[in-house]
Amino acid sequence: MAAAPHRLAGIGLVLCSVLCFAALDTTTKWVSASVPVVMALFLRYLVQALGATVTLLPLRGLALLRTRHPRFHLARGLLLILSSALAFLSLSRLPVGEFTAVVMVTPLLVTLMAARLLGERVAPLQWLFVAGGFLGTLLIVRPGSADFSWVLCLPLALVLVNTGFQLLTSHMTKTEEPMTLQFYTAWVGAFACALPLYWAWTSIHGIGLWLGIVFMGLASSLGHLLLIWSFQQAPASTLMPFMYAQIAFGMLGGWLIFDHRPAALTVGGMLLIAASGVGAALFSARSSVLALESTEH
């Protein structure tokens, strides 16, 4: 079990990580108004891939390239590209806070899919948290109301794709190093986005847009690196509740940059998703502790 100072360091790192991701989403929304999706994604993944290479290759050497399942890396990279494209399209049309809240349903859906596909046991209380997360999503999306837009289906599609990405990642971490995962995923993204670049390239006017694109790659790289470091300091059960701070950071970014103030029902949905996610994480942590104690007696 991690010591208290290490747990605090892990919590601090994960908060900095989700702050980076919220800044990435806010910047993506700003860049998406002027830059084609494929071009922005290519430049983002190129910066991320170069950053991963410069940072990780000196640390690990050629061991960084060793993998047992190259086809899984390809599949994981393509899933992440699709997730990024859906995020880009979503953020070009939706406020950052609402987008972030819907996407944060992913851990709850992973719980559901793990029960269906992997045969994992899910306690009744966990089902309640999953239901709470989906109810919160319905409060944000509000199908059938005057506020509903089919654009809201984009982050829902992103949740489904991201769930597949998370399940594949969970499977791959049993045999692959985290830094190897990050390295290959970034380069798969860069090469895949480079293929249609001939038809998507356009002139970018203004240093601000170039800085925004570079910042997207840096924020993504730093966010994932901080996330890896946080898991080295504290267990996932300790860190998961704090990842929902990304919703608050996303709302803050939307307010500061775009002057967006969500409706009361939308705020209620965000809070319900965050509460369900935190509750599920705390329940999982408690279950892990009880399971450990039972094995020791």
Determine, yes or no, domain membership for 5.
no
218 touches 226 (CB < 8 A): no
Exposed/middle/buried for 4, CB within 10 Å: 0-12, 13-18, 19+?
A: exposed
Tokens 């994981």 found at: 76
85 touches 41 (CB < 8 A): yes
Q: Encode pLDDT of 126-158 as tens digits.
A: 778 777 877 877 777 666 555 556 777 788 888
Residue 149 or 25, more confident: 25
Instruction: Answer whether residue 124 shows pLDDT above 80.
Output: no
Determine, yes or no, domain membership for 1.
no
Q: Which of 45, 3, 19, 89 is nearest to 195 (CA)?
A: 45
- Residue 23 is predicted with a pLDDT of 93
> CA-CA distance, 111 to 282, in Å (whole number)?
14
Q: Which amino acid is at 282?
A: L
Determine, yes or no, domain membership for 46.
yes
| Residue 67, number of CB atoms within 10 A of its CB | 17
Work out the pLDDT band at 19, boundaries 50, 70, 90.
very high
249 touches 19 (CB < 8 A): yes
- Residue 131 is predicted with a pLDDT of 79
Q: Encode pLDDT of 27-39 as tens digits.
A: 988 988 888 888 8
Determine, yes or no, domain membership for 115.
yes
Instruction: Answer whether residue 20 shows pLDDT above 90.
Output: yes
- Residue 60 is predicted with a pLDDT of 82
Number of domains forming the structure of the chain:
1
> How many CA atoms lie within 13 Å of 106's alpha carbon, on the beta-carbon side?
22
Work out the pLDDT band at 288, boundaries 50, 70, 90.
low
| Residue 232, number of CB atoms within 10 A of its CB | 13
Q: Which domain holds residue 152?
A: 10-296
Highest mean pLDDT among 23-27, 67-71, 292-296: 23-27
Residues 6+ apart with CB under 8 A from 167: 110, 113, 114, 117, 118
- Residue 292 is predicted with a pLDDT of 47
36 phi, psi to nearest 5 deg: -60, 150
Instruction: Answer whether residue 296 shows pLDDT above 60.
Output: no
Please, what is the Cα angle at 259 between 256 and 20, to 5 degrees? 35
DSSP E strands, the chain: none
Determine, yes or no, domain membership for 79.
yes
224: helix, strand or coil: helix
Determine, yes or no, domain membership for 3.
no
Which tokens sit at 193?
A: 């986005």
> CA-CA distance, 114 to 9, in Å (whole number)?
30
Torsion sign across C-alpha atoms 208, 210, 212, 215: negative
- Residue 218 is predicted with a pLDDT of 86
> CA-CA distance, 2 to 189, in Å (whole number)?
34
pLDDT, mean over the chain:
79
